[in-house]
Protein backbone atom coordinates (compact mmCIF):
# COMPACT_ATOMS: atom_id res chain seq x y z
CA UNK A 1 0.00 0.00 0.00
CA UNK A 2 2.81 2.42 0.91
CA UNK A 3 4.71 1.48 -2.26
CA UNK A 4 1.61 2.25 -4.36
CA UNK A 5 1.24 5.65 -2.66
CA UNK A 6 4.91 6.54 -3.32
CA UNK A 7 4.64 5.40 -6.95
CA UNK A 8 1.55 7.55 -7.49
CA UNK A 9 2.55 10.68 -5.51
CA UNK A 10 6.29 10.83 -6.28
CA UNK A 11 6.41 9.12 -9.69
CA UNK A 12 8.65 6.38 -8.33
CA UNK A 13 10.16 4.14 -10.99
CA UNK A 14 12.35 1.27 -9.81
CA UNK A 15 13.63 -2.16 -10.58
CA UNK A 16 15.25 -4.98 -8.63
CA UNK A 17 18.45 -6.73 -9.51
CA UNK A 18 20.88 -9.12 -7.91
CA UNK A 19 24.35 -7.86 -7.08
CA UNK A 20 27.32 -9.57 -5.44
CA UNK A 21 28.00 -7.82 -2.14
CA UNK A 22 30.81 -8.34 0.36
CA UNK A 23 29.84 -10.24 3.47
CA UNK A 24 31.14 -12.83 5.91
CA UNK A 25 30.89 -16.57 6.39
CA UNK A 26 31.39 -18.08 9.85
CA UNK A 27 33.54 -21.23 9.70
CA UNK A 28 35.35 -23.44 12.19
CA UNK A 29 38.97 -22.26 12.56
CA UNK A 30 42.04 -24.49 12.55
CA UNK A 31 42.16 -26.41 15.81
CA UNK A 32 38.36 -26.65 16.07
CA UNK A 33 35.65 -24.89 18.00
CA UNK A 34 36.49 -23.85 21.58
CA UNK A 35 32.95 -23.73 22.91
CA UNK A 36 31.72 -26.19 25.52
CA UNK A 37 29.09 -28.43 23.90
CA UNK A 38 26.33 -29.22 26.37
CA UNK A 39 25.25 -32.84 26.05
CA UNK A 40 21.62 -33.93 26.41
CA UNK A 41 20.69 -34.31 30.07
CA UNK A 42 23.71 -32.28 31.27
CA UNK A 43 22.61 -29.88 34.01
CA UNK A 44 23.31 -26.18 33.71
CA UNK A 45 23.18 -23.43 36.30
CA UNK A 46 21.74 -20.77 34.00
CA UNK A 47 18.58 -20.72 31.90
CA UNK A 48 19.13 -21.61 28.23
CA UNK A 49 19.53 -18.60 25.96
CA UNK A 50 21.82 -15.87 24.72
CA UNK A 51 22.48 -12.43 26.21
CA UNK A 52 23.91 -9.92 23.72
CA UNK A 53 24.99 -6.38 24.49
CA UNK A 54 27.84 -3.90 24.29
CA UNK A 55 30.71 -6.10 23.19
CA UNK A 56 29.67 -9.20 25.13
CA UNK A 57 27.70 -12.31 24.21
CA UNK A 58 27.07 -14.99 26.81
CA UNK A 59 25.38 -18.20 25.75
CA UNK A 60 23.99 -20.98 27.91
CA UNK A 61 22.93 -24.18 26.17
CA UNK A 62 22.55 -22.04 23.03
CA UNK A 63 22.45 -23.14 19.43
CA UNK A 64 24.51 -21.16 16.95
CA UNK A 65 21.35 -20.52 14.93
CA UNK A 66 19.92 -18.58 17.90
CA UNK A 67 22.56 -15.85 17.76
CA UNK A 68 24.43 -16.08 14.46
CA UNK A 69 22.23 -13.42 12.79
CA UNK A 70 23.91 -11.04 15.25
CA UNK A 71 26.98 -11.02 12.95
CA UNK A 72 25.03 -9.60 10.00
CA UNK A 73 23.75 -6.75 12.18
CA UNK A 74 27.06 -6.07 13.95
CA UNK A 75 29.09 -6.01 10.72
CA UNK A 76 26.39 -4.38 8.54
CA UNK A 77 26.96 -7.04 5.90
CA UNK A 78 25.42 -10.26 4.60
CA UNK A 79 26.30 -13.28 6.72
CA UNK A 80 26.17 -17.06 6.42
CA UNK A 81 26.80 -19.77 9.04
CA UNK A 82 29.04 -22.43 7.48
CA UNK A 83 30.25 -24.06 10.70
CA UNK A 84 28.03 -27.11 10.53
CA UNK A 85 27.70 -26.90 14.34
CA UNK A 86 24.23 -28.00 15.42
CA UNK A 87 24.68 -28.70 19.15
CA UNK A 88 23.93 -26.52 22.16
CA UNK A 89 26.89 -24.63 23.63
CA UNK A 90 27.99 -22.63 26.64
CA UNK A 91 30.29 -19.78 25.65
CA UNK A 92 31.41 -16.24 26.37
CA UNK A 93 32.54 -13.85 23.63
CA UNK A 94 34.00 -10.49 24.59
CA UNK A 95 35.42 -7.85 22.23
CA UNK A 96 35.91 -4.12 21.80
CA UNK A 97 33.24 -2.54 19.62
CA UNK A 98 35.65 0.34 18.89
CA UNK A 99 38.05 -2.10 17.24
CA UNK A 100 35.40 -3.72 15.00
CA UNK A 101 34.94 -2.43 11.44
CA UNK A 102 31.59 -1.40 9.98
CA UNK A 103 30.27 -1.50 6.42
CA UNK A 104 32.80 -3.91 4.94
CA UNK A 105 35.91 -1.98 6.05
CA UNK A 106 38.87 -4.35 6.55
CA UNK A 107 39.68 -5.39 10.10
CA UNK A 108 41.75 -2.69 11.86
CA UNK A 109 44.77 -3.27 14.04
CA UNK A 110 43.64 -3.87 17.62
CA UNK A 111 44.35 -0.50 19.23
CA UNK A 112 41.45 -0.13 21.68
CA UNK A 113 41.04 -3.82 22.42
CA UNK A 114 40.20 -7.04 20.63
CA UNK A 115 38.12 -6.79 17.45
CA UNK A 116 35.15 -9.07 16.90
CA UNK A 117 37.16 -10.96 14.24
CA UNK A 118 40.03 -11.67 16.62
CA UNK A 119 37.73 -12.50 19.55
CA UNK A 120 35.68 -14.99 17.52
CA UNK A 121 38.83 -16.83 16.48
CA UNK A 122 40.69 -16.75 19.81
CA UNK A 123 37.76 -17.28 22.18
CA UNK A 124 35.39 -19.52 20.17
CA UNK A 125 37.68 -21.29 17.69
CA UNK A 126 35.59 -19.94 14.82
CA UNK A 127 36.54 -17.57 12.03
CA UNK A 128 34.78 -14.85 10.01
CA UNK A 129 35.89 -15.10 6.38
CA UNK A 130 35.14 -12.52 3.68
CA UNK A 131 32.78 -13.80 1.01
CA UNK A 132 30.68 -12.45 -1.86
CA UNK A 133 26.91 -12.98 -1.58
CA UNK A 134 24.25 -12.56 -4.26
CA UNK A 135 21.80 -10.04 -2.75
CA UNK A 136 18.63 -8.65 -4.30
CA UNK A 137 18.78 -4.83 -4.28
CA UNK A 138 16.16 -2.18 -4.95
CA UNK A 139 17.29 0.37 -7.61
CA UNK A 140 15.47 3.71 -7.87
CA UNK A 141 15.36 4.84 -11.49
CA UNK A 142 13.27 7.97 -10.95
CA UNK A 143 11.69 9.85 -8.03
CA UNK A 144 10.12 13.34 -8.13
CA UNK A 145 11.23 15.63 -5.31
CA UNK A 146 7.80 17.25 -5.07
CA UNK A 147 4.71 15.07 -4.64
CA UNK A 148 1.81 15.31 -7.06
CA UNK A 149 -1.63 16.33 -5.77
CA UNK A 150 -3.46 13.08 -6.61
pLDDT in tens, 38-50: 987 776 667 888 8
According to the model, what pLDDT value does residue 93 have? 93
**What is the rounded average pLDDT of the residues 70-92?**
91
pTM of the model: 0.72
Instruction: Report the pLDDT averaged over residues 3-32.
Output: 91
Residue 98 has pLDDT above 80, yes or no: no
pLDDT tens across 51-64, in order?
A: 888 889 999 999 98
- What is the residue-wise DSSP string for the chain? -HHHHHHHHH--EEEEEEEEEEEEEEEEPTT---SEEEPTT---SSPSEEEEETTEEEEEEEEGGGTTHHHHHHHTS-EEE-S---SEEEEEEE--GGGS--TTPPPPP-SSS--HHHHIIIIISEEEEEEEEEEEEEEEEE--SS----
Domain boundaries, the chain: 22-131
- pLDDT above 80 (res 2): yes
Q: Encode pLDDT of 19-40 as tens digits.
A: 999 999 999 999 999 999 998 7
**Lowest-confidence region among 8-17, 66-75, 127-136:** 66-75
Predicted pLDDT of residue 70: 87
Amino acid sequence: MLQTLIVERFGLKFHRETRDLDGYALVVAKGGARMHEVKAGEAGAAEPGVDIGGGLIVGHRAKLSEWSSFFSNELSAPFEDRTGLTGAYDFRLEWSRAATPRDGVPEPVDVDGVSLFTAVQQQLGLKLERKKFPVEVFIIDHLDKTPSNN
